[in-house]
Amino acid sequence: MGVPKTKSERYTYADYYSWDDDERWELIDGVAYNMSPAPVRRHQQVLLRLVRLVSDITDRGSCETYVAPFDVRFSADEETDTVVQPDISVFCDPSSLDDRGAIASPILVIEILSPSTSHKDMTVKLELYERHSVREYWVVNADAPWVMVYRLGDDARFRKPDYYRTGEAVVSEVLSGERIALGDFL
């Protein structure tokens, strides 16, 4: 089976896993989202710098950092209808991972905005990550530049986001209060 012909059909992970590797796709609640074209060079520069900083932190502990393309499913069920590829995801529980990627929620997700995905990152994925109890969700705007950090509250809802700008450092609660200066990656 090839890639989906329309976005109006509902798909599962079993469908997704059978598609050709020529294009990158995400499924959110059964809806297929094409991730083409590839991100621009600036996106890749920021991604590389940020993944180095985050992985330096996680390498000192028991967590692991992954970079897209890395499939994050929220269930091991082949009939799950959601699989995403965040720019960066962090997992601290080895049972959250299998040979195909992740089968549970990451503690941290970082998405770097791109013109083709920014609306989805700020709406659809924000709701998805909240629903699946991702403890911290960073939205990085490399062009502005700013970082918006959503943190899961005791009520299992994202609190009002914290904004960080050039000259400031993001403080990550899930990474033991580590500080990452925006100037180090933006």
- Taking only the tens place, the pLDDT of each residue in 34-80 is 776 677 888 899 999 999 999 999 999 999 999 999 999 999 988 89
Mean pLDDT across 168-172: 95
- Domain range list for the chain: 38-184
Tell me which H or E stretch contains 55.
helix 41-58
Q: Which CATH class is domain 38-184?
A: alpha beta
**116-140 core/surface letters (b: 16 or more CB in 10 A; e: else):** ebeebbeebbbebbbebebbbbbbb
Q: Specify the pLDDT at position 1.
A: 34
Q: Specify the pLDDT at position 8.
A: 54
Q: At 24, is the pLDDT very low, low, confident or very high (cuts 50, 70, 90)?
A: confident
Chain segment 89-114, per-residue pLDDT in tens: 999 999 999 999 999 999 999 999 98
* Rounded CA separation 43/145 (Å): 12
Please check the confidence at residue 22 and state whether its pLDDT lies above 80.
Answer: no
Chain segment 137-165, per-residue pLDDT in tens: 999 999 889 999 999 999 999 999 999 99
